[in-house]
């Protein structure tokens, strides 16, 4: 990765950041990191438990520190938690130095995937209407990513191939 330090996947919960990130990491032979997994490992607690026992602001602070640290790596693939790109410091670092890719889906697909997810406290504790508003609001911010892949109606392999194309073009251009 010549010009940009790392490939960063962002987007809503349920958008496939981890799944696609892993596929791309295998194809490009680059290491993969998932910020949620890293947080769970470091704190030895599931995300849902961190939210219920320590609170969201504790999680967000931990997420900020850990993500900024992970972003110091070179030539790796990182899947962010759905809320991480909303953080100003994280977003600025990513937009300045990394190849950011938003996995974009129709709101309805996302809603159906996440509405009853026990492992996702933000989704589990919101009504469908609130989640729908959240998706709209966040999409404005996700859209600041350098690239997006419209994931509706294509399979995982095609999504990963499009990401790899973006990566290759980015390397060639710079």
Which spans of this chain sit near ligand S3P (rule: CB under 6 A)? 13, 17, 36, 47, 81-83, 120-122
Q: How many other CB atoms are found less than 10 A from the CB of residue 47?
A: 19
Q: Residue 104 or residue 120: which is nearer to ligand S3P going by CB?
A: 120
Q: Residue 59 or residue 167: which is nearer to ligand S3P going by CB?
A: 59
CB of 45 to ligand S3P, least distance (A): 12
CB of 2 to ligand S3P, least distance (A): 28
Q: How far apart, in whole angstroms, are the C-alpha atoms of residue 117 and residue 94?
A: 28
Beta bridge partners, 147, equal 101
CB of 168 to ligand S3P, least distance (A): 26
Evaluate the CA torsion angle 6, 152, 129, 49 in order and state its sign: negative
Q: Residue 73: which residues within 8 A CB-CB, separation 6 or more?
A: 5, 6, 31, 33
Q: Residue 47 or residue 94: which is nearer to ligand S3P going by CB?
A: 47
Q: Residue 42 or residue 171: which is nearer to ligand S3P going by CB?
A: 42
Q: How far apart, in whole angstroms, are the C-alpha atoms of residue 3 and residue 6?
A: 9
CB of 36 to ligand S3P, least distance (A): 5
Are 83 and 17 within 8 A, CB to CB? no
């Amino acid at each position: 990765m010549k010009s940009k330090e790392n490939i960063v996947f962002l987007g809503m919960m349920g958008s496939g950041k981890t799944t696609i990130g892993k596929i791309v990491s295998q194809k490009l032979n680059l290491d993969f990191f998932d910020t949620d997994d890293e947080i769970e490992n470091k704190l030895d607690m599931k995300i849902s438990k961190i939210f219920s026992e320590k609170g969201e602001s504790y999680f967000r602070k931990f997420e900020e520190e850990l993500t900024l640290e992970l972003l110091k790596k070179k030539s790796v693939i990182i899947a962010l938690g759905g809320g991480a790109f909303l953080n100003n410091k994280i977003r600025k670092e990513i937009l300045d130095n990394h190849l950011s890719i938003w996995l974009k889906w129709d709101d309805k697909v996302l809603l159906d995937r996440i509405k009853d997810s026990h492992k996702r406290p933000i989704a589990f504790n919101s009504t469908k209407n609130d989640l729908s508003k959240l998706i709209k609001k966040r999409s404005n911010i996700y859209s600041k990513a350098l690239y997006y892949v419209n994931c509706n109606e294509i399979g995982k392999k095609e999504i990963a191939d499009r990401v790899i194309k973006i990566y290759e073009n980015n390397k060639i251009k710079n």
